[in-house]
Amino acid sequence: MELVLKLAGAYRHSLAAGGWGWKRLVLPGVLLALWQAVTAGGLVRPILLPSPLQVLDAFVAMAGSGELVTHLAASFARVLEGFALAAVLGVGLGMGLGIFPLLFATTAGIIQLIRPIPPIAWLPLAILWFGIEEGSKVFIIALGAFFPIFTNVLDGVRQTDHKFVELAKVLEVPRGRFLAQVVVPGALPFIMTGLRVGLAFAWMCVVAAELSAGMKGVGYMLTDARALAQTDKVIVGMLAIGVVGKTMDCVLHALEKRIVRWKTSFTGA
């Protein structure tokens, strides 16, 4: 409960800091009202689209019974594991391939061959190799999150300004120091972007993997509810993914702002 209060506080704070306050709530409010109007007027059948209040009821019931938390926690744990794996590999390989041309020459071909394969296409193999419940899902998530992270990190290393390279030579900056003080900080905004996109991919992959196999997780909860024609539960599950995903992205975004303070970003014209 304390955590929830803290999060709410942080959210209100971020609203205030953004300086837009209530304006952010206009569109969601309008959509909600529209949704309520459409469903209350009997225009659509509840099985196709239940009303917001029905969804709220379902949410309260699912939250109370612990069903929501159980499934969400299962998915969340998988995302964390897969994403952590992808972050380590993606940042490591992205840096490595960007810095060492030999490593790039020998491995880039294979990586580019694997990239177009949708992560979910690995599911049959992954189940055989890593088991149907945890292993296969973590594998799929890691694979899905890896490529955006890897690609962005590699690009981040690549975009190091050539003049910085020349300057470093003239100033006799040793290679290790050059990498640590010029290449890595210059690549940081790209690394953070990669991590954020990677995290979004991780959520897509976990749901896709859980839809296809297993007995736990938000994806499983969605298929189960659909099979029982509990559309309200489906919507609760979807919204839960949105909220948790957005919250995690906010954490990364706050981290990014802290790390990349030297950059002024474009906030719109």
Partner 1 sequence: MVTAATAGKLTLRQVGKIYADYQGGAINALEPVDLDVAPGEFVAIIGPSGCGKSTLLRLIAGLEKPSAGTLQVDGAPIAGPDYTRGLVFQDPMLFPWKNIWHNVATGLEARGLLAGQKDEVDQFLALVGLADFAGVFPHQLSGGMAQRAALARALVNHPKILLLDEPLGALDALTRMTMQDEILSIWAQRRTTMLFVTHDIDEALYLSQRIVIMSERPGRIKDIMAIDIPRPRRRNAPDFFAYRSRLLALLGVGEQA
Instruction: Decide if residue 176 touches partner 1 (CB under 8 A).
Output: no
CA-only gyration radius of the chain, Å: 22
Instruction: Decide if residue 264 touches partner 1 (CB under 8 A).
Output: yes
Measured between alpha carbons, how far is 199 from 33 in angstroms, rounded to an integer? 31
Measured between alpha carbons, how far is 252 from 247 in angstroms, rounded to an integer? 9
Give min distance, CB of 151 to partner 1, in A. Answer: 22
Instruction: Decide if residue 26 touches partner 1 (CB under 8 A).
Output: no
Find the part of the chain contacting partner 1 (CB under 8 A) among 20-28, 54-62, 164-172, 237-245.
Answer: 164-172
CB nearer to partner 1: pick between 173 and 244 = 173
Spatial CA neighbour of 58 closest among 242, 238, 247? 238
CB nearer to partner 1: pick between 116 and 174 = 174
Give min distance, CB of 181 to partner 1, in A. Answer: 7
Q: How many CA atoms lie within 13 A of 68 on its CB side?
A: 21
CB atoms within 10 A of CB 96: 15
Instruction: Decide if residue 267 touches partner 1 (CB under 8 A).
Output: no
Measured between alpha carbons, how far is 54 from 46 in angstroms, rounded to an integer? 9
CB nearer to partner 1: pick between 47 and 167 = 167
| Residues at the site binding partner 1, with contacts judged by CB under 8 A | 161, 163-164, 166-174, 177, 181-182, 185-186, 188, 261-264
